Structure 1
Amino acid sequence: MSEKKSFFNFTFFITCIVCILPVVFGFFLWDKLPEHIPQQYGFNDEPTWTLAKPWGFILCPLILLILNIIINVIAYKNPEQNKKVFATMIWVIPVLSLIINSFMILKPAGLNLTPTQFLLPVISVMFIIIGNYLPKTQANSVVGIRAPWINSNPDVWQKANRLGGILFVTGGLISLITSFTPVGKYVFASVILCICVILFVYSIVLARKKENK
């Protein structure tokens, strides 16, 4: 019998370090940052709420660090899950933390890009990557298209996540192509809404059919 892989492995430590790298950038750019750092931008690319530094560049990376640890724990406790799926999903949070939180620091420090111009292409690419792996997931507590009526039936789970993969890839491509246009943010919002509605209706109908049988 092979020895069980340790939880505190190289990947775990590297992903944790990547999650909190933006904090280092924040201290490095301390003198260029305003006293209050935007934490969220509205549809008009204007800040909707802020936090005083240094909490303005510490809080979000810290939250994503905790989420990264939780996902690593789940991957460790589910060795039967597709290893390639979790190997990819484990890096989603650290990469998003590095890119998005770095932007949240660089923008108030003087970066001449709007949130829409920067974030839409990044999120669109993440949609495409996640969509490629959704059909390969098995039922679990974090990764995949999840709901009580989906989790309770393996066949519903498989079909819902297969459709979810198609929708995520298609929606990601559409959003990526239009992200550099004036209507990019409206297209992205429409894509999110369509994906949610289609998956909700499809999974509910599918689950009820299974119950009736």
Structure 2
Amino acid sequence: MKIKINKEIILSTICCFIPTILCIFVYDKLPGSLPIHFDASGNPDGYVSKEIFIFVMPFVYAALNLLVNVFINNDPKRKNASKVIFTLSKWIIPILTILFCFISILSALYENINTSTFVLALMGLVFIIIGNYLPKCKQNYTMGVKLPWTLNSEENWNKTHRLSGFIWVIAGIIQIASAFFRLPQAIFLTSVAVMVIVPIAYSFILYKKGI
């Protein structure tokens, strides 16, 4: 497995340390522990010490970012992937690191802030973007609905990804609606389950039909 270091990998890895830089400026204002997990209502329910959050977690995210880039760059069929999804996949770790660390910092500084609206809306937007490009994603081993049946048949792959793209866009819209209109949590959870289960079931049905 080749590890090719380029400007994109260096820049994306550096971005994983932006929260550290931000925390240093407000270090004295931060409490002894910061939230890293939130419940369905947006309330923090998991914490780590300030030192671990600032000086340890960014290295974990940076290492994960390097690992993701190595796998993507060494995919034998990487040229088949949609360029947008390919680029998004390589930047997803630093982007999420910055956004969610920023949410954690705000939650630590301002106890009354509700993070659920922002998180759900962001997730919905990501789902819509991915859903729009899934039908354009050709067979590869890194991105998309990678199942034995989709990887075995190009027709199965294409049909499964067309359906998946539609479902992901609808689920993204539901998530954004949940963020701003406080839809029942069951609707949000059902949409996520449909995103995962339906494409798998559909792909298997196509396989049984010889596609």
Partner of 1:80: 79
- Deviation sequence 1:157-184 (CA, Å, 0-9, x none): 2222221111111211222133112227
Structure 2: unaligned runs, 5 residues or longer: none
Matched, 1:38 2:39: no
CA distance in 1, matches of 2:41, 2:205: 37
CA distance in 2, matches of 1:151, 1:59: 38
Structure 1 residue 191: Cα displacement: 1.4
Structure 1 residue 90: Cα displacement: 1.8
Is contact 1:12-1:72 (8 Å) kept?
A: yes
Moved more, 122-131 or 166-175: 166-175
Partner of 1:51: 48
Matched, 1:122 2:119: no
| Aligned pairs, number | 206
Structure 1 residue 66: Cα displacement: 2.5
CA distance in 2, matches of 1:153, 1:60: 40
Partner of 1:18: 15
Moved more, 163-172 or 53-62: 53-62
Pick closer, same or farther for the CA change 1:10–1:46 going to 2, 3 Å. same
Q: Could you say what secondary structure the match of 1:113 adopts?
A: coil
Matched, 1:164 2:164: yes
Moved more, 78-87 or 166-175: 78-87
Pick closer, same or farther for the CA change 1:20–1:142 going to 2, 3 Å. farther
Amino acid at match of 1:113: I
CA distance in 1, matches of 2:106, 2:174: 27
Structure 1: unaligned runs, 5 residues or longer: 1-5
Is contact 2:120-2:178 (8 Å) kept?
A: no
CA distance in 2, matches of 1:202, 1:59: 42
Structure 1 residue 208: Cα displacement: 2.1
Partner of 1:181: 181
C-alpha RMSD of matched pairs (Å): 2.4
Moved more, 30-39 or 148-157: 148-157
State the TM-score, normalizing by the size of structure 2: 0.84
State the TM-score, normalizing by the size of structure 1: 0.83
Pick closer, same or farther for the CA change 1:186–1:20 going to 2, 3 Å. farther
State the percentage of identical aligned residues.
27
CA distance in 2, matches of 1:111, 1:17: 29
- Deviation sequence 1:89-146 (CA, Å, 0-9, x none): 2222222221112111221122653121221111111111111221222333331112
